[in-house]
Amino acid sequence: MKTTRLQTKLEAKQSKKQSKPSTRLIFGFVLLFVAAFLLGMLVMSNLNHSSTKHKVAVLHLDGVIVSQAFGYGRFTVANDFIEQLDKASSYDGIIIVIHSNGGSAFASAKIAKAIEKLRQQNKTVVAVIDAVGLSGAYLVAATCNKIYADELSLVGSIGVTASYLEIAELLERFNITYRRLVLGQYKDIASPLKHLTEKEKQLLMQKLQIVYDYFVNKVKQYRNVSDSAFNGEFFLGNEAKQLGLIDDFGGLQEAKQYFEQQLNTTVQLIEFAKPKSMLEKLLDRIGFVAYSAGFNFALGFVNALNDNFIA
């Protein structure tokens, strides 16, 4: 009886000794897992921190600047672009790549005001004039903190135009009469179907002067530009730099380096998609319809083949 009890105690002790390494092993695995988990969280936190802390948005201002898209071709709609600016405001900086001859004075000024608002919030905005940045597009660039352009970029064209074709004499030659029915002396001012009177011309020039003065004063507010640059002339990049229209030669990479110097670290450029033109949207739609038609045709053909086979 005593022998049996002694054997039982010995077996229990051996069992405990054998279980201790197993318990330690499991405990070690748990510690290793927790350490790996914490290390992974730390690494991910650093990666997320670095990836979100130093991002610079890249926006594209292409084609005619308008208040509302119409017809086909490349346009930049002011409200759409301002919406992109709002989204980009959460980044550490913004680069605007410009390839535009300008457009609507109202739409251009609206975008420029949105950039001014960002600057008031201490957000740095850099303009990169690609091949061309003229008229209203230059107004947008002028409100940015810094402007880059190539030596051969077309820059400037600070001026306003409201020129139009007048065909009143042509109508008269073909004995076509313009029946003028208006209430308000200037209701049909600048109609191409009638001759522009001297008084009407003076009135239009007064309106143009107001817009021109706004343009010039806004450029002077942000840039030290020579007075000779305000005659409506466009300039090559080399000339533009001498006149103070741009700051340095360069493109997107130079703008990136500028931000890296300002932030004293490397930055990641985040490209915002270019808004599609109406023609591109139409082609996308046609492509989708063609794809759907072809897919359905192929599916029907395969089903017809399957119907002919009997298992």
CATH number for the domain harbouring residue 69:
3.90.226.10
Whether residues 41 and 131 share a domain: the answer is no
Q: Which residues partner with 125 through β-bridges?
A: 94
Whether residues 144 and 237 share a domain: the answer is yes
Residue 134 · residue 155 · CB < 8 Å: yes
Whether residues 46 and 147 share a domain: the answer is no
Give pLDDT tens digits for 192-231.
Answer: 999 999 999 999 999 999 999 999 999 999 999 999 999 9
14/161 Cα distance (integer angstroms): 101
Whether residues 236 and 114 share a domain: the answer is yes
Q: Please give the average per-residue pLDDT across 13-17, as a whole number.
A: 53
Whether residues 41 and 133 share a domain: the answer is no
Whether residues 82 and 4 share a domain: the answer is no
Q: Is the pLDDT of residue 289 over 90?
A: no
For 253-258, the CB contacts below 8 A with 24+ separation are: 254/128, 254/148, 255/95, 255/126, 255/128, 255/146, 255/148, 256/56, 256/95, 258/126, 258/146
Q: How many CB atoms lie within 10 A of CB 46?
A: 10
Inside any domain, residue 172? no
143/222 Cα distance (integer angstroms): 6
Whether residues 150 and 4 share a domain: the answer is no
Whether residues 155 and 246 share a domain: the answer is yes
At residue 259's C-alpha, the angle toward residues 123 and 154, to 5°, is 90
Residue 79 · residue 292 · CB < 8 Å: no
Domain containing residue 113: 55-160+223-280
Inside any domain, residue 92? yes
Whether residues 118 and 262 share a domain: the answer is yes
pTM over 0.75: no
Whether residues 107 and 17 share a domain: the answer is no
Whether residues 38 and 69 share a domain: the answer is no
Task: Give 43-64 as a DSSP string.
Answer: HHHHHHHHHHHTEEEEEEEEEE
Q: Is the pLDDT of residue 6 over 70?
A: no
Whether residues 98 and 229 share a domain: the answer is yes
- Which sign does the torsion angle of CA 222, 226, 228, 234 carry? negative
Inside any domain, residue 65? yes
The count of structural domains within the chain is: 2
Inside any domain, residue 201? no
Give pLDDT tens digits for 237-250.
Answer: 999 999 999 999 99
Inside any domain, residue 166? no
Q: Which of 172, 162, 228 is nearest to 200 (CA)?
A: 162
Q: Is the pLDDT of residue 40 over 80?
A: no
